[in-house]
Amino acid sequence: MTQLAMPPTRARPPRLQQLRNDLGGTEAANGLVALVFAATGPVAVILAVGTAGGLSRVEISSWIFAVFFLNGLITILASWAYRQPLSFFWTIPGTVVVGKSLTHLTWPEVLGAFIVTGILILVLGLTGWVDRVMSLIPLPLVMAMVAGVFLSFGTDLVGAVRTDVAIAAPMVLAFLLLSHLTSLGRWMPPVLGALLVGAVAVAVVGGFSPGSGPVLAAPTLQAPVFTTGALLELVVPLAITVLVVQNGQGVAVLNQAGHRPPINVATVFCGIGSLCSAAIGGISSCLTGPTNSLLVASGKRERHYAAAICCGALALVVGLFAPLFVRLMLATPAAYVATLGGLAMLRALQGAFVASFAHRFTLGALVTFLVTITDVTILNIGGAFWGIAIGFAVSKLLEPGDFDT
C-alpha cells in the first residue's frame, strides 16, 4: 500500500547565522509570494463570509489578526524546530462551511464549534491516530485532489491574460524570460520578477485605488456559546477540512518536494492554533497546501524552511496591520493577483498531475480529480473530501492490485 508519508527525521534547528545564510533571494521571494497569496484571495473569502454573516468590523479584524499573527508564530516555530517548511494558516473550505452556517447560527455558537473542533484536532494529534489514518490513503489520490484544487490557479491565469492583457501579459513575459535565462533567474527569481513587473503595469494602467480605513488590528477576546445544533453541524466538517482536505494537501505537497513532515506534530500545532484563534474569533488552523506549494516551488530543498520562516514573519506583520494590508492588496486589479498566483503555482500543478497519473491508482486518481473540480457538496462537506472518498472506493473496486504493491 502506498504510504502518504515516511517517518520524519528531525534535523537540528538552525542557528541564527545558518538561517541568515539560507535565506537567499529565492527563499525570500517564495516566502513573500506565499504570503501575498494568503493575504489576497483567501482573505477575500473571510471578508465575504463575515460581511454576509453580519459580523462587525471589529470581529472581522480580530478574525484576520488571529489567522495571520497566531499562525505566523506557529509557522516560525515549527519550521525552525523541524528545519523544513511547515506553513500554517487557516482552512478555506471550512470558512465556506461557516459562511453557510452563519445564515442560521449566531457568531458565539460558531465560536463554540471552533473551540470543540480545536480540542478534537489536538486529541487526534496527541494520540497519533491521524498519522495512521492518513497513511492508508494512496498518495496518487491525494495528489489528484491537490491537482483538482490547484487547477483553478492555472485557468485563472489564462483568464487573466484574456481579460486584462495590459497587466497579465508583461508578468507572464517576465516570468518566461527569467525562467529561460537561468543565470538571470538566480539573481531575480521568476515569480518575484513577475510581481515587480506587474506592480509597474498596475501603476501605469492606473488600477490601484485603496481608499481609506483603519490601520491596526484590534483583536478581542470573544465568549463562545455551546449548542448541540452548532456542534453537530460544524465540528465534524471543520475537522475533516483541516485533517483530510487541507493537511492532506500540505503533507502531499511537502512529500512530493522531498520533505517528511511530522504529521502528528503538525496536527498538534493545528489543534493549539485552532484553540488560540477561536479565543479571538479565528477559524481552525491547518497545514495549508497552496502556501506550502509556493514555498517549495523553487530553490534548494534544504533551504525551503527559510522561506517558510520568512512567510511566517511576514504573516506577523500582516496580522498587526491586517486592515491596512488587506485593503491595499484587494485594491489591486483581480488580474494581478490571479496572474501572480497562477505563475507561482505552475510547477506545483505540474508535479501534482505527474504524481497522480504516472503509475498506480490512475483510475481512482482520475475520479478523484473529476469530483474535486466539480466541487460536489454533500452534508456541508466540499468536493475535495468527496473526491478522495469516491476515488478511493473506485480504486478499491477496480484497481485492487495497486494496494498490494
Whether residue 2 is predicted with pLDDT greater than 60 in this model: the reply is no
pLDDT of residue 125: 92
Asked if the structure places residue 238 within a domain, the reply is yes
Residue 63 placed within a domain = yes
How high is the pLDDT of residue 380? Answer: 65
CA angle 156, 161, 166 (to 5 degrees): 135
- Rounded to two decimals, what is the model's pTM? 0.74
Supply the range of the domain harboring residue 235.
16-139+161-346
- Asked, for residue 9, whether it belongs to a domain, the answer is no
Residues 153-159: contacts with CB within 8 Å, 24+ apart? 153/290, 153/341, 153/342, 153/344, 153/345, 153/349, 154/342, 154/345, 154/346, 154/349, 156/338, 156/341, 156/342, 157/338, 157/339, 157/341, 157/342, 157/343, 157/346, 158/342, 159/338
> How many angstroms separate the Cα of 26 from the Cα of each of 185, 189, 295, 323?
9, 6, 10, 28
pLDDT (0 to 100) of residue 3: 43
Q: Which of 118-127, 337-346, 352-361 has the lowest mean pLDDT?
A: 337-346
Residue (of 283, 316, 256) closest to 74 by Cα position: 316
3-state secondary structure of 285: strand
The band of 256, judged by pLDDT with boundaries at 50, 70 and 90, is: confident
Q: How large is the average pLDDT for residues 252-273?
A: 92
Three-state SS for 11-25 is CCCCCHHHHHHHCCH
Residue 5 above 50 pLDDT? no
| Element (DSSP H or E) covering residue 287 | strand 285-287
- Angle between helix axes 334-357 and 362-374 (nearest 10 degrees) is 160
269 and 74 in contact (C-beta within 8 Å)? Answer: yes
- pLDDT of 44 > 90? The answer is no
Count of Cβ atoms closer than 10 Å to residue 127 Cβ: 12
Q: What was the pLDDT predicted at 9?
A: 54
Mean per-residue pLDDT, 196-203: 88
Residue 8 placed within a domain: no
Question: Among 87-91, 118-122, 331-335, which is the least confidently predicted range?
Answer: 331-335
pLDDT, tens digit, 9 for 90 and up, residues 129-188: 887 766 777 878 888 887 887 788 889 899 999 999 999 999 999 999 988 887 777 677
| pLDDT for position 333 | 83
150, 373 contact by CB (below 8 A): no
Residue 276 CA: distances (Å) to CA of 43, 111, 270, 375: 19, 11, 10, 30
- pLDDT averaged over every residue in the chain: 86
Which of 311, 302, 363 has its CA nearest to residue 38? 311
In angstroms, the CA 303 to CA 282 distance is: 31
Confirm whether 42 is domain-assigned.
yes
Secondary structure of residue 212 in the 3-state scheme? coil
Does residue 67 lie within any of the structural domains?
yes
Residue 4 maps to a domain: no
Residue 214 included in any domain: yes
As a whole number of angstroms, the distance between CA 302 and CA 297 comes to 13
- pLDDT for residue 216: 82
pLDDT at 224 (0 to 100): 93
The arithmetic mean of pLDDT across residues 196-219, rounded, is 79
User: Among candidates 338, 345, 367, which has minimal Cα distance to 167?
Assistant: 338
Domain count of the fold of the chain: 1
Q: How confident is the model at residue 323 (pLDDT cuts 50, 70, 90)?
A: confident
Other beta carbons less than 10 A from residue 183's beta carbon: 6
**Among the ranges given (213-227, 284-298, 377-391), the one the predictor scored with the smallest mean pLDDT:** 377-391
Amino acid 292: pLDDT: 92
Say if residue 210's pLDDT is above 90: no
Residue 286 is inside which H or E element, if any?
A: strand 285-287
Beta strands of 78-214 (E only): which ranges?
A: 88-90
pLDDT at 220 over 80: yes
- More confident: 309 or 202: 309
Categorize the per-residue pLDDT at 4 as very low, low, confident or very high, splitting at 50, 70 and 90: very low
Position 283 scores a pLDDT of 94
Query: pLDDT: is 67 or 5 the higher one?
Result: 67
Q: Report the pLDDT value the prediction gives residue 1, as an integer from 0 to 100.
A: 40
Mean pLDDT of 5-33: 80
Q: Which residues lie closer than 8 Å to 346 by C-beta, 6 or more apart? A: 154, 157
Check residue 123 and give its pLDDT.
94
Q: What are phi and psi of 385, to 5 degrees?
A: -65, -45
Q: Shortest CA distance to 335 belongs to which of 187, 154, 198, 183?
A: 198
